[in-house]
């Protein structure tokens, strides 16, 4: 175990669990170097099924250089329908080749447009649109460009294999037709929330959420509008610094570029209120942003606390692959597609001294997972040593579960999340390539950070 990059430590990821130096390098030199394919569980009817019962057309889209939201907007515009008629199960990045399902209410196959960088395959029809729960996981195929020490990947794999508490039988090495070495081995890493959750270049989303949970609406607005970072253009840094220094909302509007439309929308709300906006006005300014971003603020605060809890568990030397007395575990989703081990956080059990051995056997077989909370109003904290960690982190952040009883989209009941994610990783040389599958909600970057050990801006 070794200290993480400072940017990662700022969002609660204090450590790498592998001691070996990273391979270095970077990702996404080319969109083809970052390929993601969704593993879904969504049944469709034939495309000629009656549209009154099955009004949603379901397509599989392979996107090159398209952010999911931008593609959905482009598709709805081309079809001449509301953006609200297009649904999907998971959001994907722009700088990648991604394959995922979309459903379009009321569309017909012959109406689908030709869009540059997009391949569409009609799968059939459905009685409802896609939802997040329809996503089971993602398959990743990634290339590391210009690694400094590619040979270190083998040792890192061994260390992550040991961290995951995995047996020594799941290991294969082959040599392809062109002499390319391929090694496959099961690994485990802490199931941190990746840097993208907080903002890769400006990690402040959780700071906004923490202020909201504390009832500090003004602090939340200032965290979003102000707080300049070196990763931003100089003009944007100056505009944010101006807000921090003056609180002159009207004058700030002249300084913020048009591309920062959410910031400008907040500033309009504040400028209309006059010189001294009250707490309700600051809340109204936050509510100017889309509802999914409002929820993301609070989710990022929960994610930061979760990362802190995992880092503290690492520091105290507690296992991730098996429980200790007081832990809360969840069990595997028996309906998950083949090849995906998916934790079901609706099936929870508190582990007392009598059950540690039996639950450990379930964990060894991939049937149970130790969890930590994403704290909300319905959260029940663990007992024992893990309970001590959860309470200590919340005390340090000045939070309680009741603090998430918030208005509107900011409200959260909370849930729990597995603290360890396991996968079978295939590694190839020349170029260094990594392939693996993760359950929904887990981040490829939490695997990749262990291998590259670079500034997270080179992971996203």
CA 214, 216, 222, 224: dihedral to nearest 10 degrees? 40
* Residue 292: per-residue pLDDT: 81
Looking up tokens 């007395």, which residue turns up? Answer: 325
**For position 209, which CATH number holds?**
1.10.1510.30
Whole-angstrom Cα distance, residue 305 to residue 397?
8
Residue 8: exposed, middle, or buried by beta-carbon count in 10 A (0-12, 13-18, 19+)? buried
* 397 and 323 assigned to the same domain: yes
* 308 and 382 assigned to the same domain: yes
* Residue 181: per-residue pLDDT: 59
**For position 369, which CATH number holds?**
3.30.2350.20
Q: Write down which residue in 268, 289, 310 finishes a domain.
A: 289
* Residue 335: per-residue pLDDT: 76
Per-residue H/E/C for the chain: CEECCHHHHCCCCCEECCCCCCCCCECCCCHHHEEEEEEECCCCECCCCCCCCCCEEEEEEEEECCCHHHHHHHHHHHHCCCHHHEEECCCCCCCCEEEEEEEEECCCHHHCCCCCCEEEEEEEEECCCCCHHHEEEEEEEEECECCCCCCHHHHHHHHHHHHCCCCCCCEEEEECCCCCEEEEEEEEEECCCCHHHCCCCCCCHHHHHHHHHCCCHHHHHHHHHCCCCCCCCHHHHHHHHHHHHHCCHHHHHHHCCCCCHHHHHHHHHHHHHCCCCCHHHHHHHHCCCCHHHHHHHHHHHHHHHHHHHHHHHHHCCCCCCCCCCCCEEEEECCCCCCCCCCEEEEEEEECCHHHHHHHHHHHHCCCEEEEEEECCCCCCCCCHHHHHHHHHHHHHHCCCHHHHCCCHHHCCCCEEEECEEEEEEEEECCCCEEEEEEECCCCHHHHHHHHHCCCHHHCC
Q: What is the pTM of this model?
A: 0.88
By C-alpha distance, which of 36, 39, 38 is closest to 64?
36
* Residue 175: per-residue pLDDT: 46
Residue 370's domain spans which residues?
293-418
* 341 and 439 assigned to the same domain: no
* 405 and 449 assigned to the same domain: no
* 313 and 413 assigned to the same domain: yes
Enter the tokens of residue 369.
Answer: 């997972």
* 234 and 300 assigned to the same domain: no
Looking up tokens 């949603």, which residue turns up? Answer: 56
* Residue 182: per-residue pLDDT: 67
* 355 and 386 assigned to the same domain: yes
**For position 83, which CATH number holds?**
3.30.70.3160
Q: Which sequence positions are flagged as catalytic? A: 93
* 319 and 262 assigned to the same domain: no
Domain count, the chain: 4
Whole-angstrom Cα distance, residue 436 to residue 422?
10
Q: Write down which residue in 116, 137, 158 finishes a domain.
A: 137
* Residue 442: per-residue pLDDT: 92
* 23 and 171 assigned to the same domain: yes
∠ CA 142-143-147, rounded to 5° = 135
* 393 and 449 assigned to the same domain: no
* Residue 190: per-residue pLDDT: 98
Whole-angstrom Cα distance, residue 446 to residue 448?
6
Each residue's pLDDT expressed in tens, for the chain with a length of 460 residues: 899 999 999 999 999 999 999 999 999 888 889 999 998 888 999 999 999 999 999 999 999 988 888 888 899 999 999 888 999 888 887 888 999 999 999 999 999 999 999 999 999 999 999 988 788 889 999 999 999 999 999 999 999 999 998 765 443 444 444 545 568 899 999 999 998 888 877 889 999 999 999 999 999 999 999 989 888 899 999 999 999 999 999 999 999 999 998 999 999 999 988 778 889 999 999 999 888 889 999 999 999 999 999 999 999 999 999 999 999 999 988 777 777 788 988 899 999 999 999 999 999 888 999 999 999 999 999 999 999 999 999 999 999 999 999 999 999 999 999 999 999 999 998 899 999 999 988 999 999 999 999 998 877 6
* 351 and 430 assigned to the same domain: no
* 216 and 284 assigned to the same domain: yes
């Amino acid at each position: 175990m070794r200290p993480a990059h400072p940017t990662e430590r700022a969002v609660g990821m204090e450590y790498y669990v592998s001691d070996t130096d990273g391979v270095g390098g970077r990702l996404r030199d080319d969109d083809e170097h970052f390929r993601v394919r969704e593993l879904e569980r969504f049944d469709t009817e034939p495309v000629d099924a009656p549209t009154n019962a099955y009004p949603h057309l379901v397509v599989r889209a392979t996107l090159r250089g398209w952010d999911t939201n931008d593609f959905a907007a482009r598709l709805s515009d081309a079809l001449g329908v509301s953006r609200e008629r297009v649904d999907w199960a998971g959001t994907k990045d722009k700088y990648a080749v991604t394959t995922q399902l979309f459903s379009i209410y009321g569309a017909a196959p012959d109406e689908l447009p030709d869009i540059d960088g997009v391949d569409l395959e009609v799968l059939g029809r459905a009685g409802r649109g896609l939802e997040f729960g329809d996503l089971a996981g993602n398959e990743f195929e990634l290339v590391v460009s210009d690694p400094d020490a590619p040979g270190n990947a083998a040792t890192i794999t061994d260390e992550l294999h040991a961290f995951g508490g995995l047996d020594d039988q799941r290991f294969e090495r082959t040599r392809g037709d062109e002499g390319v070495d391929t090694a496959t081995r099961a690994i485990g890493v802490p199931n941190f929330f990746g840097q993208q959750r907080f903002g890769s270049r400006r990690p402040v989303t959780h700071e906004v959420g923490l202020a909201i949970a504390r009832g500090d609406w003004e602090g939340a607005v200032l965290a979003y509008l102000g707080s300049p970072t070196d990763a931003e253009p100089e003009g944007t840094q100056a505009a944010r610094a101006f807000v921090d220094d003056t609180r002159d909302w009207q004058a700030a509007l002249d300084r913020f570029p048009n591309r920062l439309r959410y910031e400008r929308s907040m500033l309009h709300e504040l400028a209309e209120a006059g010189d001294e906006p009250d707490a309700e006005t600051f809340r109204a300014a936050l509510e100017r942003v889309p509802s999914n971003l409002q929820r993301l603020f609070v989710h990022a605060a929960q994610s930061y606390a979760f990362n802190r809890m995992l880092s503290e568990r690492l520091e105290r030397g507690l296992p991730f692959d098996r429980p200790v007395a007081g832990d809360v575990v969840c069990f595997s989703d028996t309906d998950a597609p083949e090849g995906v081990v998916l934790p079901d956080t609706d099936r929870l059990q508190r582990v007392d001294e009598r059950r540690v051995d039996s639950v450990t056997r379930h964990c060894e077989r991939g049937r149970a997972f130790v969890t930590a909370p994403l704290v909300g109003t319905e959260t029940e904290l663990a007992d024992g040593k893990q309970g001590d960690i959860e309470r200590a982190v919340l005390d340090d952040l000045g939070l309680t579960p009741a603090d998430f009883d918030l208005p509107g989209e900011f409200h959260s009941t909370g849930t729990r999340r597995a603290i360890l994610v396991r996968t079978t990783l295939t590694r190839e040389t020349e170029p260094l390539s990594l392939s693996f599958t993760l359950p929904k909600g887990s981040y490829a970057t939490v695997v990749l950070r262990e291998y590259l050990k670079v500034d997270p801006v080179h992971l996203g």
